[in-house]
Structure 1
């Protein structure tokens, strides 16, 4: 009887400590991605939707993630219909920017993750936009069933050079910053 209790306890401990990876699918309807693009004379902001995504955990620790963004959903929020919104949204979708006819999605895939404590992780990920892949680094905080992050993306790494002072001279007040800002709240 004592051996049976010992075996049962050993199995319980082994089961409790052998934590396997768990993939948690993202709720795309509840998740939000906001963007801000700045230029010399001001800025524009808007949203873009997730198509699909998942975070991977081992126990409570974040160990991976991959997200696909629907680039055709890019939408300016600071302009009203009839006040240039349709023109800017169309321009963002054309080849000067994201070329959504040819590249309808962008993909972010976590490559390395460092636990910084307090449910904050330092992530280096591969971001693919317009068929070009480059690394991005950011911190992501996980609380309950939500992960939040803010980071900048240098658009020129993805061959998006329109209005960039890094590539064109004499743009004056038509220059557009190379970096755009992402602020994401991911619900899983």
Structure 2
């Protein structure tokens, strides 16, 4: 089974803190809302390289949903990616983030790495105990800094050492 690389936008690709010089500011209009996002064009290449090296599939795991393909992907050099639907659902019963149930449903039994600024111990416990999943790595990204080489290295190492890597 091809592993998944699940990507959040806000706090991961769009840091909440002061953007570093290698980030560019964009104004995105989604419906009646206008958002300012700071994106680093190199993130797209780095994510594509990680997917290629590990034989993984990139997937959006963000409340931006399909808007990520319209507004985020072209600005960082990603192709159109599959999207995990994140419609609001039932409130959390066990302290997990609302997206965690959607991720579990989408991933099924496929191994995955999830880059998100809101994944915590409760999300890991929910996935392991409530969903019976074992083959995943949650990578908490500091929302003030966003995705770093260290995060990408953690994903590469985990996919490679666990044998999920299907890369060259």
Task: Give the alignment's TM-score, normalised by structure 2.
Answer: 0.27
Structure number having the greater strand percentage: 1
Structure number having the greater helix percentage: 2
Greater C-alpha radius of gyration? 1
Task: Give the alignment's TM-score, normalised by structure 1.
Answer: 0.25
